[in-house]
Amino acid sequence: MKIVYVNDILYGYATGDPTAKGGAERYGWHLTCALASVGWSVTVGVRSALKEGEERTVNGVRFIGIGRRTHFLSAWYKFLKKERPDWCFWQCADHLWGPAAEIARWLGVRTAFSMMHDNHVQLRKALARRGNLWPLYAWGLQRSDVIFVQHDGQRVHLPMRWQKRAYPLPGIVPLTDTVVPHSERNGAVVWVAVIRPAKRPDLLVEIARRLPDIRFVVCGAPSLSHWDAGKIELIMTQLRSLPNVDYRGHVAPEHTLKIIGEASLLLSTSDGEGFPSVFLEAWAAGTPVVSVQIDPDHKIRNCDLGKVTETLDGAVDAVRSFMTSSERLREMGMKARRHVEELHSPVAAVRAFETAVAHASDSTTAGLIQSESR
């Protein structure tokens, strides 16, 4: 089976670009590697990083330049027509998915769309840009053969007519060979995210202010497109002025994993996510998570992988309590590690992916047989 995808940031992760950022793209890289490892032919179109026609293969994934001077949809059409894949893959809400999916179907290519944020199931609120074009995005979902969701909460909020085409696709996280024992960790709380409103860095500032004896390591650069310059400057000034906050700015992906693996806790203050890849990265390193709001499928609460506090005061209390017990952190960390080993391995993701596309293929075949029999 052959599958194609278009994403420049994924190429950055593949080539070890330290400026690469984005949980969806990082997951896309892990997934394409996993598919390639079991025999799928995987080709990723790259608009900017490679010249048109230039090719490079990394970990079995073939990257090819598709040109940046033509409109995306024109480049997409030429890419699909030349590659002739069985499937195309798309992540994240975008108005372009509507016409892109239609082009794929016209060329006989099946379509798989992957939800990467809970907002993506709220059609009128899904688009971060050109929000008034949400009907084009909805058109793409209507034309998708498979809709992948990160957790059941996303599936149940899809329109009923699409739920039968929705399948869970677990996140993938690389597992390190060793885990740093909590008794040997640096006693820090790590916060990792792009600094923008939905991540609630204001709550991070307040939690750190209330816990002056606990060290916080903050990894993430501000996103200039999501709020005004005055608000950004205020948040950055506060982060840099707190003596117990070690602000690192943007940190290369591999170094971020090291920081998470040496910390005692990961703190999440976000009020909007899908299934955060940083949760999986923390659990893989045996690092429990304290989250103010986010708990996809109630995994943190039900599997004892940290604590969901629901309030700022609760987050302060949870961090303070956990940091006084390395044994409690060790117990949660061991459960977290086992959890990702069992449910978020490349094998588990490939199994889920292939199950979904097989069902979609069977449904298509059944539909053709019924049409021919009429």
Q: What are phi and psi of 157, to 5 degrees?
A: -95, 0
Would you say residue 145 lies in a domain? yes
Would you say residue 8 lies in a domain? yes
CA dist 185 and 78 (Å) reads: 52
Q: What's the confidence (pLDDT) of residue 363?
A: 65
Same domain, 206 and 279: yes
Query: What CATH number does the domain containing 306 carry?
Result: 3.40.50.2000
* pTM of the shown model: 0.82
Would you say residue 97 lies in a domain? yes
Q: What's the confidence (pLDDT) of residue 302?
A: 93
Same domain, 192 and 323: yes
Residue 65: partners with Cβ closer than 8 Å, 6 or more residues away: 45, 46, 47, 49, 50, 51, 52, 53, 54, 55
Would you say residue 270 lies in a domain? yes
Cβ count near 134 (within 10 Å): 18
Q: What's the confidence (pLDDT) of residue 59?
A: 96
Same domain, 80 and 165: yes
Q: What's the confidence (pLDDT) of residue 373?
A: 41
Residue 277: partners with Cβ closer than 8 Å, 6 or more residues away: 23, 26, 27, 171, 173
Same domain, 339 and 349: no
Q: What's the confidence (pLDDT) of residue 374?
A: 42
Retrieve residue 159's tokens.
Answer: 């329109």
Would you say residue 357 lies in a domain? yes
Would you say residue 187 lies in a domain? yes
Same domain, 111 and 209: no
Q: What's the confidence (pLDDT) of residue 23?
A: 81
Retrieve residue 81's tokens.
Answer: 């027509």
Same domain, 26 and 155: yes
Secondary structure letter of residue 78 according to DSSP: H
Q: What's the confidence (pLDDT) of residue 151?
A: 86
Same domain, 163 and 304: no
Return the SS3 of 141.
Answer: helix
Q: Which domain holds residue 72?
A: 2-172+345-373
Same domain, 54 and 125: yes
Q: What's the confidence (pLDDT) of residue 364?
A: 57
Same domain, 121 and 258: no
Would you say residue 359 lies in a domain? yes
Would you say residue 177 lies in a domain? no
Same domain, 73 and 152: yes
Contact by Cβ (8 Å): 322, 288: yes
User: From first to last of its 374 residues, what are the pLDDT tens digits of the chain?
Assistant: 999 999 999 999 999 988 888 888 989 999 999 999 999 999 999 999 899 999 999 999 999 999 988 899 999 999 999 999 999 999 999 999 999 999 999 999 999 999 988 888 889 988 988 889 999 999 999 999 999 998 888 898 899 999 999 999 998 887 878 899 998 998 999 999 988 888 999 999 999 999 999 999 999 988 877 677 778 888 899 999 999 999 999 898 889 999 999 999 999 999 878 788 899 999 999 999 999 999 988 999 999 999 999 999 999 999 999 999 889 999 999 999 999 998 998 999 999 999 999 998 776 544 433 433 44
CA dist 70 and 50 (Å) reads: 14
Same domain, 197 and 235: yes
CA dist 240 and 227 (Å) reads: 19
As for how many domains the chain has, the answer is 2
pLDDT in tens, 321-364: 999 988 999 999 999 999 999 899 899 999 999 999 999 877 65
Q: What's the confidence (pLDDT) of residue 191?
A: 97
The residue to which tokens 């209507």 are assigned: 142
Same domain, 243 and 335: yes
CA dist 144 and 218 (Å) reads: 38
CA angle 246, 252, 257 (to 5 degrees): 75
